[in-house]
A and B are shown apart, each in its own frame.
Chain A
Amino acid sequence: MFLSILPGRIVSLRAERLLVEFVYSLMDSEFVAEDRQKTNASLAAELEDVRLSRRGDSDAYTRLIKQHQSQVSRMLWRFSRDPLVHEELVQDVFVEAYLSLGSYREKAPFGHWLSRIATRIGYRYWKQIARRGETESFSLAEWDELPGKSTDDIDPGRAAEMLHRLLAQLRPRDRLVLTLRYLEGCDVAETARRTGWTKSLVKVQSRRARKRLEKLFAQAGKGLRG
Chain B
Amino acid sequence: MKNERLFEALSARARSESPPSVDVAGRVIAILNAEQNRIEQLTEKPLLWLAAASSALAVPAVVVAIIVYNASTGPLYEISQAIAWVAQ
Contact = CB atoms under 8 A, between A and B. Distances in A.
A77 B6 CA distance: 21
B20 to A, nearest CB: 6
A91 B13 contact: no
Interface size class of B (residues with CB under 8 A): 20 to 34
A70 B23 CA distance: 8
Contacts, number: 107
A65 B30 CA distance: 13
B23 A69 contact: yes
B86 interface: no
B19 A156 contact: no
Nearest to B16: A156
Contacts of B10: 151, 154, 159, 162-163
Interface string B13-46: 1111111111111011101110100000000000
B11 interface: yes
A224 interface: yes
Nearest to B10: A159
A95 B14 contact: no
A69 B22 contact: yes
Given A66-B25, A91-B24, A226 B2 contact: yes
A98 interface: yes
What DSSP secondary structure best describes chain A's contact surface? Answer: helix
Interface string A88-101: 00110011001100
Contact of A73 (B13, B20, B29, B31): B20
Interface of A: 58, 61-62, 65-66, 69-70, 73-74, 76-77, 83, 86-87, 90-91, 94-95, 98-99, 143, 146, 151-152, 154, 156-157, 159-160, 162-163, 166, 182-185, 210, 213-214, 217, 223-226
Given A61-B28, A90-B22, A159-B17, 5 more contacts: A58-B33, A65-B28, A151-B12, A152-B13, A217-B3
